[in-house]
């Protein structure tokens, strides 16, 4: 079945039929542009072999496109007012199931195990912007087998995920994403492609999960604590950031020696370090604590 949604007329008709009112707190901005939907499906490279998790199907617009392209689609929607609408708009697609829950409370690893024999799944979504980071980091940090994540996010967040050191957008999110995946910005999407229009520009980003991370770290948790400490106090030196962190317990001498061993001046700032350098710093500090 060809998708019926993805244009303003049919979206309005569905909203009126069910007397639906948008809930701001759920970040509801529905896609009304079929070109953008085609672009998302194409760039996610969905095939009939794929099991797709969609987060926040709304009235089922992208879900229809996904159902046409994928083998199986599971969509998780928090707003129970949307469930009868989804049952209607998706009634002719047999490979779709809906879970009415907060995605942060769903055991996605179990879903992949039980529904896809633990083979890697693809995540595709027009994300609710208020919880983009917890959703993406949650998927990476829990042991969900993931092949790729292709998502619509706020433009500024897409930039942060993609940049390297020396730019203002570089931060803990850039490093966390790039430790787990290779990011590609696929398209920029203006506010008029959504109903209602968001106040910010949007972008579609694809994150291809590495089978093996590009850097070797002995203690991943320690590396992320170091990264957070370095960006907590942006304008301070790396040494001060590490010393003042409540999450870390190194002496001033250990920190100074580690920065020297890394080959950096004592005044270096955290935001100039690459992922490779953070990994090396974590390995040096891990060793010095033994
Ligand atoms: N996929 C639809 C589209 O593109 O038209 C809707 C996208 S809209 C930006 C985000 C959707 O996520 C909304 O339907 C919203 O109700 C849902 N949502 C918000 N928070 C959620 C959560 N914690 N768990 C699951 N769904 C959520």
Rounded to whole angstroms, what are the CA distances from 85 to 88, 96, 124, 240?
5, 14, 20, 54
Rounded to whole angstroms, what are the CA distances from 262 to 221, 274, 276?
19, 12, 11
pLDDT digits (tens, 9 = 90+) for 90-107: 999 999 999 999 999 999
CA 192 / ligand 1 centre spacing (Å):
18
* C-alpha 116, offset from chain centre: 21
pLDDT digits (tens, 9 = 90+) for 147-164: 999 999 999 999 999 999
Mutate to test the pocket of ligand 1, among 78, 132, 154, 157 (most ligand atoms within 8 A of CB): 78
Distance CA 87, CA 98 (A): 8
User: Across the 290 residues of the chain, what is the mean pLDDT of every consecutive 10-residue run?
Assistant: 93 97 96 98 97 98 98 98 98 97 95 92 96 91 91 96 92 93 97 96 97 92 93 84 92 95 94 96 92
pLDDT digits (tens, 9 = 90+) for 121-157: 999 999 999 999 999 988 988 878 999 999 999 999 9
For ligand 1, which residues put their CB under 6 angstroms from it?
A: 26-31, 55-58, 61-62, 76-79, 82, 102-104, 126, 128, 131
> How high is the ipTM of this complex?
0.99
Distance CA 80, CA 85 (A): 10
Instruction: Encode burial over 248-265: b for 16+ CB neighbours within 10 A, e otherwise.
Output: bebeeebbeebbeebebe
Instruction: Encode burial over 270-284: b for 16+ CB neighbours within 10 A, e otherwise.
Output: bbebebebbbbbbbb
Phi, psi (degrees; rounded to nearest 5) at 25: -65, -20
CA 28 / ligand 1 centre spacing (Å):
6
């Amino acid at each position: 079945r060809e998708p019926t949604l993805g244009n303003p007329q049919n979206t309005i008709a569905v909203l009126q039929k069910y007397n639906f009112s948008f809930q701001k707190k759920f970040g509801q901005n529905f896609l009304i542009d079929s070109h953008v939907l085609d672009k998302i499906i194409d760039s996610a490279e969905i095939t009939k072999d794929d099991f797709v998790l969609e987060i926040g199907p709304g009235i089922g617009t992208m879900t229809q496109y996904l159902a046409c392209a994928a083998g199986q689609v599971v969509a998780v929607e928090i707003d129970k007012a949307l469930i009868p609408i989804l049952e209607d708009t998706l009634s002719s697609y047999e490979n779709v199931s809906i879970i009415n829950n907060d995605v942060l409370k769903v055991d996605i690893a179990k879903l992949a195990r039980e529904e896809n024999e633990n083979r890697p799944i693809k995540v595709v979504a027009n994300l609710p912007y208020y919880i983009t980071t917890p959703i993406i980091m949650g998927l990476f940090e829990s042991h969900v087998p993931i092949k790729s994540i292709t998502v619509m996010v706020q433009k500024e967040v897409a930039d942060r995920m993609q940049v390297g050191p020396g730019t203002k957008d570089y931060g803990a999110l850039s490093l966390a994403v790039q430790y787990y995946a290779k990011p590609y910005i696929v398209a920029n999407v203006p506010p008029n492609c959504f109903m209602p229009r968001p106040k910010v520009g949007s972008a579609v980003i694809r994150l291809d999960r590495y089978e093996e991370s590009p850097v070797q770290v002995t203690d991943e948790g320690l590396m992320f604590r170091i990264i957070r400490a370095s960006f907590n106090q942006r304008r301070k030196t790396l040494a001060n950031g590490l010393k003042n962190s409540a999450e870390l317990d190194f002496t001033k001498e250990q920190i100074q020696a580690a920065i020297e061993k890394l080959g950096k001046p004592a005044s270096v700032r955290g935001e100039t370090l690459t992922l490779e350098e953070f990994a090396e710093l974590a390995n040096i500090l891990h060793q010095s604590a033994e």
